[in-house]
Amino acid sequence: MDKKIELAVRRRADGICEYCRFPEVHSELRFVIDHIVARQHGGATTLANLALACGFCNRHKGPNVAGVDPSDGSLARLFHPRTDDWRMHFQWDGAEIVGQTAIARATVRTLALNDPMQIDARRAIILCGRTLY
């Protein structure tokens, strides 16, 4: 990937995973550049289709562009960091991410955003005084 594009994505995200909002500074692993619409589906390597993602979110998202809303079993597209506002779709309940829309609930499920290990990691940084946003 072009270094200029990668740097622009990293600067824009300000060190925060654009899916789970985890800060890279508290991660042992460097965050990756995610194709929001995977190359497998024709997604371009452009700023409009790239997001900064932690390894956990990136691994669970894979090439998925949709998931199942567990509240009713319907199919919903995944959260799109470039076109969707995180706060319009998700809320915090302590260290847990609560989906407010079908898109958010499908994303929480598909990306396993509330995996117990992820919640523990968020609790640890909250205890250190960091605010999740």
Instruction: Point out which residues bind Zn ion (CB under 5 A).
Output: 17, 19-20, 22, 54, 57
Minimum distance from residue 65 beta carbon to Zn ion (Å) = 17
Q: Which residues pair with 96 in a beta bridge?
A: 93
Please state, in angstroms and rounded to a whole number, the distance separating the CA atoms of residues 109 and 64.
12
Q: Which residues pair with 77 in a beta bridge?
A: 66
Closest distance to Zn ion from the beta carbon of 98 (Å): 16
Q: What is the C-alpha separation between 27 and 72, in angstroms, rounded?
A: 34
Nearest residue (CB) to Zn ion, 19 versus 90: 19
Query: Can you say how many angstroms the Cα of residue 38 is from the centroid of all Cα atoms in its chain?
Result: 14
Q: How far is the CB of 72 from Zn ion (least distance, A)?
A: 25
Nearest CB to Zn ion, comparing residues 49 and 107: 107
Of 15 and 43, the one with the shorter C-beta distance to Zn ion is 15
